[in-house]
Structure 1
Amino acid sequence: MGLETTLHKTGQPTRISNRGGGRNSNVEVLRILAMFLILINHFPWNLENIVGHGSYLERLPLDLVVALATNFGGVGDCLFFFISIWYLCEESPSLKRSCKRAWILERELLFWSLTLFAVFLAVTALHATEPVSAKTFLRYAAQAFFPTATNHWWFPTSYILFLLICPALCEGLRRIGRDVHYSLAIISTVVFGLVPFGCMNQLFHSWNMTYSVWLFVYQFVLVSYLRWYKKDWLDNTRMMTASAWIGLALGVFSQIAIVSAALMFKESTTLCVFWMNCPAALPSMMVAIGLIALAQRKAPRHNRMVNEIASSVFTVYLILTDGFANSVIDDFIKGLDMTGWMLLLISFLLACGFFVLAVHLGFIRQGLFAVTVDRNRGHWFELVWDKAMERIERGEHKRSNAKA
């Protein structure tokens, strides 16, 4: 979802273009990697046909490969969000800046939700054997016109909510000081980061933190502590390298152990979710913070192609995790007359092809916006914001006069 600002050594945010070579390509490569991991995690793999129903030893190699490849979604989530946190921690937070970012992101969400809804209507009208129920139609329509309000996509919805509370959260963490902030970070890590499945809320569904705004609040508490008070850790190449490798080892070896055990005691194909696939879990966050810190330590590079791809990768997530689009891909994968390693290879190539296609669709969206709503980017927001502030000030002035 890309930052709208970057930081110079002065610590002051500076507006940059959403495309081009202004960003640090070392970090933008991680944004691309994050989205590829998220793609592999969400891609509709046909596990029944890939792994099959043979003996334990026949199923184990394929199941391990698929499980290890597809359970890095938590690392991808952490990388994608941590890149934003990295810069947000050093900004002077303001409600106006947060609302403007939310405004700009909402336009992209609306574009894709309405576009995908139009495709859904066209495909249904041309190929449906029976009419779509009113309930299904209304659900898709509500998601199309109100993507954030209906939580069509959990990540951008949670991110927008986080942006709105970020100024108050940042100010509050600054005020409580280093010692209390440290205690809060340790308690949060113990409660949510050490449980293998990431969060105890997976046992208590009434309080869902794993994929909500509270996940971002929790992660901001941890990363902001490191950014504000432990810069010597982040600048320590050996420590950050160790963080990434230890987190990776914890995630990979625990995944191998649980998949092996699950296959031994279950006859059906299983794809177990463990530490590495949960963005709240410590291993995922250790890998992410280590990679970002190492990327920041290197001399900045500005590769225009890398930066343009990174500015467009969010389209991959928006299309793939749309219910209708994902079901179309799922139906196509299930229709392939293949099994085993060949199906796994073809599915992987299709996932890579989808990644490239979605990035190019993102370029098309950016091009359309460049000649329409982005010709004077943020102009309408400034008008609405200024008008709202004028009304609030007039109201306060009237109340003060009435009291006088």
Structure 2
Amino acid sequence: SSYTFYDNSIGGFQIFSYSAHYKVLTRRSSNLELLRILSMFMIVVHHFAFHGTFDFKTITNTNQGALLATLILESFGKVGVAIFVLIGAYFLVEKSFSFKRVMNLVILTSFYSIIIYIILRVLKFGIPNDYLWTKIIFPYPIPTNYWFVTSYIVMLLSMPMLNIVIRNINQRKHLYILLFLTVFIVVIPDLYSYFPGKMDIWIGQFGATDATYFIYLYFIASYFRLYSSKLTRKWEYWLILVVIGNILLFISYSLPLFISDATHNYLNYSQLMIGQNSTVITMVAVSIFMLFVNINIGKVRCINYISASMFGVYLLHENSFLRPIIWNYINNNRFTTFTSMIINGLKYSFLIFIICILIDIVFRRILFEKKINKLSLKLGNYLDKKLLGK
């Protein structure tokens, strides 16, 4: 093949000549690829707790242990999401914008969404009877939506503007932007969540959305990519911050549970601190990310290969139609103690994780990757030429 294009900004989509496949993979360092795998597993664990059948909003005399375990497992999710975005942004900062990247993301998402819908429709299983064709066409033509993909595409489309800003400011101005975004994307939404009720105000006024949070993470990743120092290169420093951050995170979601009872339920405060824009979640995610940036494990081919299926794992297990089938079948409501919830949460999450990896490797990467890559390149090159003049 005459072209080679590889993108490791999100994992799971690879566009390159097959002859160059293993050569490209072995050139990649594996520290962040390992972290990508761990972050996706954290997301699956979160979905076990969040989408499962266990009632994590009601307190009884017998479910406190299982509730605490559920909160621990659920806290993994948004940390994993933030890490996943930080890894992608870290690779994107020094790349030039191309629609090939966007089109590959769109085509892969559409591929899994449509295939899963067709299979479940043929089997007459898991698709609501009132799910008409109009719901497939609008607002855009795929059967189901993925909030993460939508927000990530917004970040990708913002990449040319973000890079113009980043490449034309100095370190001090970059830090100012980070402080500004931290206040309005993270801190104020946190405070508003804990102290609601002010008239005629909502957090959207400050720009706090999933997409803007991803852009905020883009600025964080670019700052550490461009302005490393002796302090930021010390893995011991980041390990200390990881420990401190996780202690604060545990206190923030467990304390409301410990002071709650059947008549005074404060679990909504637990949910606030493990939400998307949480200050502590961001601190933990950035600390773990920088810890792995500064740990060199060399180039491990199997890690790099498995990492390329992480986006496929997300698209499979978080599909809106497949999701309730998976977690209702597992039925985590039957795990009524702290130990059983933790052990079974990790066990079943790992099982789903491995199954999704195998499906993505066999079904998408071996059978359809070449066609998907070819279509992505063709559409991406067309848009690059027409819209960017490349």
Following TM superposition, by how much is the alpha carbon of 1:387 offset from its aligned partner in structure 2, in angstroms?
A: 5.3
Q: Is the 8 A contact 1:114 1:144 kept in 2?
A: no
- 1:26 is aligned to 31
Q: Answer with 115-124 or 206-215: which moved more.
A: 206-215
Following TM superposition, by how much is the alpha carbon of 1:249 offset from its aligned partner in structure 2, in angstroms?
A: 1.6
Q: Which runs of 5+ in 2 are unaligned?
A: 1-5, 10-15, 197-201
- TM-score normalised over the length of structure 2: 0.80
Following TM superposition, by how much is the alpha carbon of 1:318 offset from its aligned partner in structure 2, in angstroms?
A: 1.4
Pick closer, same or farther for the CA change 1:363–1:188 going to 2, 3 Å: same
Pick closer, same or farther for the CA change 1:296–1:174 going to 2, 3 Å: same
Following TM superposition, by how much is the alpha carbon of 1:5 offset from its aligned partner in structure 2, in angstroms?
A: 5.0
Separation (CA, whole Å) in 2 of partners of 1:65 and 1:72? 11
- 1:398 is aligned to none
Instruction: For residues 326-384 of structure 1, give each alpha carbon's deviation from its aligned partner in whole angstroms, at most 9, with x where no partner exists.
Output: 121243244x894513873545433221111111111021112344333x585413652
Q: Is the 8 A contact 1:117 1:144 kept in 2?
A: no
Instruction: For residues 233-286 of structure 1, give each alpha carbon's deviation from its aligned partner in whole angstroms, at most 9, with x where no partner exists.
Output: 3212232222222221211111111222344644798793133x2343332222
- TM-score normalised over the length of structure 1: 0.77
Q: Is the 8 A contact 1:309 1:359 kept in 2?
A: yes
Of residues 290, 293, 296 in structure 1, which corresponds to 2:293? 296
Within a 5 Å distance, the mapping from 1:325-364 to structure 2 comes to 325-334=322-331, 338-341=334-337, 344=341, 345-346=343-344, 348-364=346-362
Of residues 138, 142, 157 in structure 1, which corresponds to 2:137? 142
Q: Is the 8 A contact 1:20 1:308 kept in 2?
A: yes
Q: Answer with 62-71 or 263-272: which moved more.
A: 263-272
Within a 5 Å distance, the mapping from 1:108-187 to structure 2 comes to 108-124=108-124, 132-133=129-130, 136-138=131-133, 141-142=136-137, 146-147=141-142, 152-187=145-180
Query: Where does structure 1 differ by over 6 angstroms across 4 or more consecutive aligned residues?
Result: 50-53, 267-271
Q: Is the 8 A contact 1:113 1:143 kept in 2?
A: no
Of residues 55, 73, 78 in structure 1, which corresponds to 2:77? 73
SS at match of 1:322: coil
Of residues 78, 81, 93 in structure 1, which corresponds to 2:96? 93
Following TM superposition, by how much is the alpha carbon of 1:311 offset from its aligned partner in structure 2, in angstroms?
A: 0.9
Q: Is the 8 A contact 2:245 2:283 kept in 1?
A: yes
Counterpart of 1:112, as a letter, is Y
- 2:312 is aligned to 315
Q: Answer with 156-165 or 201-210: which moved more.
A: 201-210
Counterpart of 1:104, as a letter, is N
Pick closer, same or farther for the CA change 1:231–1:42 going to 2, 3 Å: same
Separation (CA, whole Å) in 2 of partners of 1:169 and 1:350? 40
Please identify the structure whose Cα radius of gyration is greater. Answer: 1
Separation (CA, whole Å) in 2 of partners of 1:285 and 1:315? 24
Q: Is the 8 A contact 2:235 2:295 kept in 1?
A: no
Following TM superposition, by how much is the alpha carbon of 1:207 offset from its aligned partner in structure 2, in angstroms?
A: 5.1
Pick closer, same or farther for the CA change 1:185–1:267 going to 2, 3 Å: closer
Counterpart of 1:47, as a letter, is F
Counterpart of 1:185, as a letter, is L
Q: Is the 8 A contact 1:24 1:302 kept in 2?
A: yes
Separation (CA, whole Å) in 2 of partners of 1:169 and 1:115? 34
Following TM superposition, by how much is the alpha carbon of 1:224 offset from its aligned partner in structure 2, in angstroms?
A: 2.3
Instruction: For residues 81-100 of structure 1, give each alpha carbon's deviation from its aligned partner in whole angstroms, at most 9, with x where no partner exists.
Output: 111122222x1433xx2x11
- 1:61 is aligned to 65
Separation (CA, whole Å) in 1 of partners of 2:265 and 2:387? 63
Separation (CA, whole Å) in 2 of partners of 1:337 and 1:5? 38
Separation (CA, whole Å) in 2 of partners of 1:207 and 1:201? 17
Separation (CA, whole Å) in 1 of partners of 2:376 and 2:234? 39
Count of aligned pairs? 366
Following TM superposition, by how much is the alpha carbon of 1:30 offset from its aligned partner in structure 2, in angstroms?
A: 0.8
Q: Which runs of 5+ in 1 are unaligned?
A: 7-13, 394-404
Following TM superposition, by how much is the alpha carbon of 1:189 offset from its aligned partner in structure 2, in angstroms?
A: 1.6
Q: Answer with 207-216 or 112-121: which moved more.
A: 207-216
Separation (CA, whole Å) in 2 of partners of 1:70 and 1:301? 31
- 2:199 is aligned to none
Pick closer, same or farther for the CA change 1:255–1:103 going to 2, 3 Å: same
Q: Is the 8 A contact 2:239 2:291 kept in 1?
A: yes
Pick closer, same or farther for the CA change 1:137–1:271 going to 2, 3 Å: farther
Alignment of 1:47 onto 2:54: yes
- 2:368 is aligned to 369
Following TM superposition, by how much is the alpha carbon of 1:114 offset from its aligned partner in structure 2, in angstroms?
A: 0.6
Pick closer, same or farther for the CA change 1:269–1:192 going to 2, 3 Å: closer
Instruction: For residues 82-131 of structure 1, give each alpha carbon's deviation from its aligned partner in whole angstroms, at most 9, with x where no partner exists.
Output: 11122222x1433xx2x11111111211110111111231232x698xx8
Q: Is the 8 A contact 1:24 1:301 kept in 2?
A: yes
Following TM superposition, by how much is the alpha carbon of 1:54 offset from its aligned partner in structure 2, in angstroms?
A: 4.1
Separation (CA, whole Å) in 2 of partners of 1:51 and 1:340? 14
- RMSD across aligned positions (CA): 3.7
Asked which structure has the greater RCO (Cα within 8 Å, sep 6+), the reply is 2
Counterpart of 1:84, as a letter, is G
Following TM superposition, by how much is the alpha carbon of 1:197 offset from its aligned partner in structure 2, in angstroms?
A: 4.0
Separation (CA, whole Å) in 2 of partners of 1:151 and 1:211? 20
Pick closer, same or farther for the CA change 1:369–1:384 going to 2, 3 Å: same
Alignment of 1:216 onto 2:223: no
